[in-house]
Chains A and B, each alone.
Chain A
Amino acid sequence: MTGGAPNSGGATTDTYAKARTWLLMPAWLVLLVLSLTPVALMLVYSFLTKEFRGGVIWDFSLAAYDQFFFDRGLFGDEPARIEWTYIGIFWRSIWQAGAATVLSLLIGFPTAYFIATRPEKARPIWVFLVTIPYWVNLLIRTVSMKFLLRDQGPLNDFLMFTGLIDSPIHIINTNFAVQLGLFYSYLPFMVLPIYAAVERYNFTLSEAAADLYASKWVTLRRILLPAVKPGVVAGCILVFVPSLGSFLAPDLLGGAKNFMIGSLIEEQFKGNAGNWPFGAAASMILLTLVLIILIMFTRQQAKSNKAGG
């Protein structure tokens, strides 16, 4: 297009500039009221006093955060010590989510790479195959996983039938079961961004590396990986963040021993604990953690975008 008009050619235009306020009004209204206000109210609730059977009393209190971080004894009169229970639950959640992310990366990267190097016409079908299970109800998927992995379940039956094992291997209610469940829940989030990055990758670079005596694996590590790193990082974030706050996989596959943040929070509102301010405080801490990760991620993406021109 000639003329050098800055707003011509692209698909982002100002055709409906005059109507935009009205067009955006419903979205703003719904999301301000039903997404942003609730989060603000949650922050408020985390500073209120608990009522015993759920709900709050409108008195300002730091009790929720205090309970999260400090142990003051049964009657609250002992000197404050660090309370490790909840920090421990957060730590375990981070660890579990991290392990699930590594698992997803180890399987997701080769898968994404393999799909991205199929003939162009076949790629959407492979992507489709990998994403279908994601659209099946998460609860049903997790229940199916539980069914498969049970001590008397089909997996153990199959393994004993083939003679690989003599007695059932115990998978359910272990850390590994939770990691497997999380992997199963969010794998497409790992595959899709890596796939997109590899698809954009210019394989002439690999050829140049091979021409300059780099072996395939050296090429992978030194040339391909740095080029697709933004996609890898995006995939890791997209698996890690929802894993961190997940509820179903730890609840159904992990059992009581493998409590994660999601279950801790759920317990405060639906379970017996009934401590709303504490639940709100735990949610705030989780949200803060997630936002810090997302901000770091956005910064890093912006930087690598700049570096990549």
Chain B
Amino acid sequence: MVPEEQSIAIDVRDAVKRYDDFTALKKLSLSIMDNEFFTLLGPSGCGKTTLLRMIAGFENVTEGEIFLFGEEIKNLPPYQRPVNTVFQNYALFPHMTVLDNVAFGLEMRGSSKSEARKGAGEMLELVQLTQFANRKPSQLSGGQQQRVALARALAPRPKVLLLDEPLSALDLKLRKAMQLELKHLQRETGITFIFVTHDQEEALTMSDRIAVMSDGELQQLGAAKDIYERPRNMFVADFIGETNLLEVSVDKIANGRAVCHLGGGHELTCNSVEGIGVGSKVHMSVRPERLFISATPVENESLKGRVKENIFIGTDISTLINLVDGPEFIVRTSNSDRGNKRIFEPGNEVFVNMEMGAARLLID
């Protein structure tokens, strides 16, 4: 989904951020569309928070430009940028009531005190916290504080809302609920959300598009499904979800298909990738849930192996299989219709089969 008629909300061009002896961002460019739920995903230290803080105005830009709806903003102080932030630890002003917290931004933008309070009241209604308006932040639970922080950042109607790992302090259940609420809030308000997280599952759940970052560089940018199913390189394949990463050598390329050698005489065919020629030794990624096990070969590319171990993980069963003289595979089988499915026990001789198009060659 690349909506061409949409305008670009944030345009980062060749942004570099250098500290004394450390480069946090290395010439990074990306465009974030208006009305989009956009996620910056990566492990800690990858530069995602730095990028967010540069957009907010808390970090200066060493090189490059940042445009907000076509306007260059890199030299504006934070208080002149129509973007608001939901901070990781919320940063609710402890000496003010919930209502005054939410009214703060409106007041600073020039609303009268009563106007600001009215606007804040409406915002609190949106996040269902009206009855807590006169409490101090310390009297609220973590989830409620989270919603106040959201209301406060949304109250001045920013053009872009920045969220810096806002759910990381919540427990799992609350986090799941907030993920949906955030998604709904974004739809309702139509404001561009830029969300920073290191949790790939969270990113996949919420985002229209995801930018995967590592080492200050953009690794891949695309829709959630794209990133999961068509990872571009090793880092993305490994970071997003569980996968079988196999070292392969390309034997033959014909009609857009590449035949790859896995070692031990095993072969797999997958789509060829531009830049990977015959003879190259590369990595291949196969998602475990796109493999299935059978007692007899089902097609000519079934891979023969032996079951090493079954791991029960609730919804699924994960089976480790050693190929004969070859690499190890993880296969995920849904735990849903157990009656019809045969569970292979350790030691059983089995065949590993792959759905069409499940294997992907990766550029390192």
Give A contacts to B, CB under 8 Å.
1-6, 8
Q: Do A5 and B20 touch (CB < 8 A)?
A: no
B332 at the interface (CB under 8 A from A): no
Cα A1 to Cα B89 with chains together (Å)? 10
B336 at the interface (CB under 8 A from A): no
**In the complex, what's the smallest C-beta–C-beta distance from A1 to chain B, in angstroms?**
6
CB contacts between A and B, total, < 8 Å: 34
Q: Do A4 and B22 touch (CB < 8 A)?
A: yes
**13 residue pairs bridging A and B, Cβ less than 8 Å apart:** A2-B45, A2-B46, A2-B165, A2-B196, A2-B198, A3-B44, A3-B45, A3-B48, A4-B22, A4-B24, A5-B24, A5-B59, A6-B22
Q: Do A1 and B22 touch (CB < 8 A)?
A: no
CB proximity to A under 8 Å, residues B186-203: 196, 198
Q: A3-B47, A3-B48, A5-B53 are in contact. List 20 more A-B contacts (CB 8 A).
A: A1-B49, A1-B88, A2-B44, A2-B49, A2-B50, A2-B165, A2-B196, A2-B198, A3-B24, A3-B45, A3-B46, A3-B53, A4-B22, A4-B24, A4-B45, A5-B19, A5-B24, A5-B49, A5-B59, A6-B19
Q: Which residues of B contact A2 (CB under 8 A)?
A: 44-46, 48-50, 165, 196, 198
Chain A interface secondary structure, helix, strand, loop or mixed?
A: loop
**In the complex, what's the smallest C-beta–C-beta distance from B15 to chain A, in angstroms?**
13
Q: Which residues of A contact B53 (CB under 8 A)?
A: 3, 5, 8
**In the complex, what's the smallest C-beta–C-beta distance from B215 to chain A, in angstroms?**
11
Q: Mark B173-197, 1 if CB is under 8 A from A, else 0.
A: 0000000000000000000000010
Cα A228 to Cα B59 with chains together (Å)? 41
Q: Mark B285-310, 1 if CB is under 8 A from A, else 0.
A: 00000000000000000000000000
CB proximity to A under 8 Å, residues B34-75: 44-50, 53, 59
Shortest 5 CB-CB contacts between residues of A and residues of B: A3-B49, A3-B50, A2-B44, A2-B49, A4-B45
Write the chain A residue with the least CB distance to B198.
A2
CB proximity to A under 8 Å, residues B77-130: 88
Cα A1 to Cα B49 with chains together (Å)? 8
**In the complex, what's the smallest C-beta–C-beta distance from B322 to chain A, in angstroms?**
38
Q: Which residues of A contact B88 (CB under 8 A)?
A: 1
Cα A78 to Cα B48 with chains together (Å)? 83
Q: Which residues of B contact A5 (CB under 8 A)?
A: 19, 24, 49-50, 53, 59
Q: Which residues of A contact B20 (CB under 8 A)?
A: 6
Q: Which residues of B contact A1 (CB under 8 A)?
A: 49, 88
**In the complex, what's the smallest C-beta–C-beta distance from A148 to chain B, in angstroms?**
46
Q: Which of A3, A4, A8 has the most CB of B within 10 A?
A: A3
Q: Which residues of A contact B48 (CB under 8 A)?
A: 2-3
Cα A151 to Cα B165 with chains together (Å)? 73
